[in-house]
Chains A and B, each alone.
Chain A
Amino acid sequence: MKPVFMTFTRGDIINFIVLMVLGFLIIPMTITNGYWYSSILIPWLCLALAAVGQQIVMGYAGQLSLGAAGFMAAGAFACFNLILRIPDLPFVGALIISGLIAAAFGILFGLPSLRVRGIYLMVATLASQFFIVWMIDKFGWFKNYDTSGIITAQNIEIFGKSFTSPIDMYYVVIVVVVILTLIAMNMVRGSAGRNWMAVRDMDIAAESMGVSLLKTKLEAFAISAFYCGVAGALFAFTYLKSLEPVAFDIKLSFKIMFMVILGGLGTINGAFIGAAFILLFPVVLNFIGNTVFHGSIDATIISSIEQVVFGALMIIFMIYEPLGMAKLWESIKSKIGFNKKK
């Protein structure tokens, strides 16, 4: 336990234990309804993982990128093809290789970050979004020449056991997400994360301290894309199961960016909180529309309200709390004495 937690305080470890108990014991014991796993928890964890990736490149390294969904598509279709074409490849191996393939795309489309920033970089990353999805769409090989262009993800098999029920898949997802999140936390709290943040806050000073901009930025892009790639593969294999490339369209990229911004730039927690909000808010809104107003509110209005609220929250957070919901959560916790100083 020592090495993994070196950079962590006692409070972190307690939080970790609590979350693990919650994730591996309490949730599986209390929730039996498959709906909760397959349409809330699994997509939440998958998207949160992608948001962690986006967080690394945008929140930590400060590079405005809008291509998360493209990298997710790369990961998802890579995983499909790997399992299809290399029969002996275990699922975990396929997952890692898919991440690496996405990372390669991340490096390729992260290259413009060496020259440009802000909106310019955003446009450059849009190219990756559109190009990757187009490529998968146009070259039949990626989809095993399915005429409809829609692939069906294979069943997950690990050590000969197949994971098909919602709760099984939940376990697969949560294990992967926990491991990758821990690694991400290690990175952002260690020297790697410091380099990213240094580049974000003052690139010239960082360079003068011996931080190579080239290496650091591309590293951030690669890791971010790796996370998105793995998230995309999980998203495809545990949530969508049948998918076509357009499932990873620009809207999803925007969503992931929103998760990071609303959750709080530069915190790993923020990725999870933001993902939960973006995912749950429409569900709650719909639920209210259906139960409180008994469907008397037009679906158009509900979905428009959803958009207005997301947009307005974005502006409000930019003005009042640029650090997002994670910071808000911290303040609430400290207010009700949840996080007393030891």
Chain B
Amino acid sequence: MSVDSNNILEVKNIEVVYDNVILALHDVSLNVPKGKIVALLGANGAGKSTTLKSISTMLASERGKVTKGTINYNGNNIQGEIPSQMVHRGMVQVLEGRRCFGHLTVEENIIAGAYSRQLSKGDMSAELEKIYTYFTRLKDRRNSQAGFTSGGEQQMVAVARAMMAKPKMLLLDEPSMGLAPQLVAEIFNIVKELNQKEGVSILLAEQNTNIALKNADYGYILETGRVMLEGSAKSLANDEKVKELYLGISKGERKNFRDALYDDEKKKNTTAPTTKGRKFKIGGPILEVKNISLHFGGVKAITNISFNILKHEIRAIIGPNGAGKSSMLNCINGIYQPQEGTILFKGAVLDQINPNLISTMGISRTFQNLALFKRMSVLDNILVGRKLHTKSNFMQVGFQFPQTVREEKENKEKCEEIISFLEIEDIKNTQVGKLPYGLQKKVELGRALATQAEILLLDEPMAGMNVEEKRDMCRFILKVNDELGTTIVLIEHDMGVVMDISDRVVVLDYGKSIGDGTPDVVRSNPKVIDAYLGVAHD
């Protein structure tokens, strides 16, 4: 830890608890020197946002509490402060997820940023002009409703709005999330410029390790609520572990995720199996997506996308956040109705699709943002997945007909199997909402497995997991595919995982397909490198 007296922010050993039970941060310490950019790195759910929120004192509004440790800003302990006071003192946070005021115009949004300052009309327009010199793009759109601007513009609005408060310190939460690489670059340029010209100190939480380390001076890596690693941006970028875990660069003997399949046997036998043959040969197309287009109001989410899924294969969909991957799954799943195009399942056109119908046809899924039944136990959650294998109606359940009793027993046995397969026996009666993120992801997979579907759609099943957990998850996915022959469609950000376990990959960007093929083909596709993988990956 640097002992710089020039630190604008010093965080010492903080522990954070949500709702009095869920421990989000265990022991986090970090410093931000005046006028520097410090990056906070780590996977989803590692505690980056929580750290930022404890600094900006926005934690209280989410029922979180700093239970241990101290946070000093500008030499003063921030304990007991509220967000509006922090803004007065020059600390402003830009929240995750482009949260601008959708019903206000762009300019109103920016003006709202000056709420804490007493500005005359003249000062206000001067400030506005100054902001517009940084965000030239926004000037043209100043009178349009913020909700209808593009993702990048919204992110800019959020940053510009924060700048209007004239901060000494800016907390940026995932500014690159869901943005195309060029836009990311543009935003980071502005951030860098603000840092240099206005002298704003910046604490940056970022999943995109690559770009963050490129722009920051110093970095911390968080994992499950702890600082695992810290150092100057350069040293981190060259750290082997960082390279392997966060940059997807592998040198030397990096373990292939596909080998996870044999972890079980390895435990038993010590010798690694040599045969890597698959029980189920990849067959013909089971699901075909043809010329799908989807838009919400005026915003295009998917434009004319076509691809197919073969029986028994593991098919990955990759692309930056907001590229339309989840929307694609939602179309297949029937949650969204695409305006154009058709989806064929086993050669038959799916008409008037809805999730209920799709599930009965043997397609099951998990969700990106965890869609579990929070107030039910793990076992009950997974039992809901047995719905399609439950024939009894409510009357039979009410009177406990013999066949209902038998059916319930069978379903329970099946779910117990899944639970022991996922190795979550010890939490089976716990209420799901109280579980940590990683376990919830497992439960969701379990629920999807319980349906015994032919196709599993997995939306970022490994988000926010460390490598060990990811390996575990890969093992489950591979086993399901290998032993039951379940076709798997996978959305994943971890290129290592995608390249290792998938048979074929489709790459989406801005709602368009820019590449399709085996991992090797996709990896060398220049378009894909440009739009998604970035230059650092080659």
Contacts and interface: CB of A to CB of B under 8 A. Distances in A.
A and B touch in the complex (CB under 8 A): yes
Interface of A: 3-4, 6-7, 183-184, 186-187, 190-195, 197-198, 200-202, 204-213, 219, 223, 266
Contacts of A223: 394
B451 interface: yes
Given A204-B367, A209-B387, A210-B356, 15 more contacts: A3-B401, A184-B398, A187-B394, A190-B392, A190-B400, A190-B404, A191-B411, A192-B394, A197-B373, A197-B380, A208-B359, A209-B359, A210-B451, A211-B384, A223-B394
Contacts of B405: 3, 6
B374 interface: yes
A7 B383 CA distance: 14
A97 B365 CA distance: 42
Contacts of B373: 197-198, 200-202, 205-206
A219 B397 CA distance: 13
Contact of A6 (B385, B408, B451): B408
A211 to B, nearest CB: 5
Given A201-B376, A205-B371, A210 B397 contact: no
B54 interface: no
Contacts of A186: 397-400
B388 interface: yes
B356 A213 contact: yes
Contacts of A191: 383, 386-387, 390, 392, 397, 408, 411
A190 B399 CA distance: 11
A204 B371 contact: yes
24 contacts: A3-B400, A3-B402, A6-B405, A190-B392, A191-B392, A191-B411, A192-B394, A194-B376, A194-B380, A197-B373, A197-B380, A198-B384, A202-B371, A202-B373, A204-B355, A205-B367, A208-B356, A208-B358, A208-B365, A209-B384, A210-B359, A211-B384, A213-B356, A223-B394
A266 B375 contact: yes
A186 B359 CA distance: 26
Nearest to B393: A192
B400 A4 contact: yes
Contacts of A266: 375
A209 B397 CA distance: 19
Contacts of A192: 393-394, 397-398
Contacts of B393: 192
B364 interface: yes
Contact of A190 (B358, B376, B397): B397
Q: How large is the interface on B (under 10, 10 to 19, 20 to 34, 35 or more residues)?
A: 35 or more
Contacts of A206: 373, 384
A209 B376 contact: no
A202 B440 CA distance: 14
B384 A195 contact: yes
A6 B335 CA distance: 36
B305 interface: no
B402 A210 contact: no
B354 interface: yes
B408 A190 contact: yes
Contacts of A183: 398-399
B360 interface: yes
Contacts of A209: 359, 364, 384-385, 387-388, 447, 451
B194 interface: no
B424 interface: no
Contact of A205 (B372, B390, B400, B404): B372
Contact of B355 (A193, A207, A219): A207
B398 A208 contact: no
B333 interface: yes
Given A3-B405, A201-B372, A210 B333 contact: no
A75 to B, nearest CB: 18
Interface string B335-354: 10000000000000000001
A208 B397 contact: no
A11 B380 CA distance: 20
A192 B397 CA distance: 7
A244 B384 CA distance: 44
A19 B165 CA distance: 65
A168 B170 CA distance: 75
A202 B384 CA distance: 12
Contacts of A3: 400-402, 405
Contacts of B355: 204, 207-208
A210 B391 CA distance: 12
Interface in B10-26: none
A23 to B, nearest CB: 21
Interface string B394-417: 100111111011001001000000
Interface in B142-200: none
The 4 closest A-B pairs by CB, nearest first: A205-B371, A201-B373, A190-B397, A210-B359
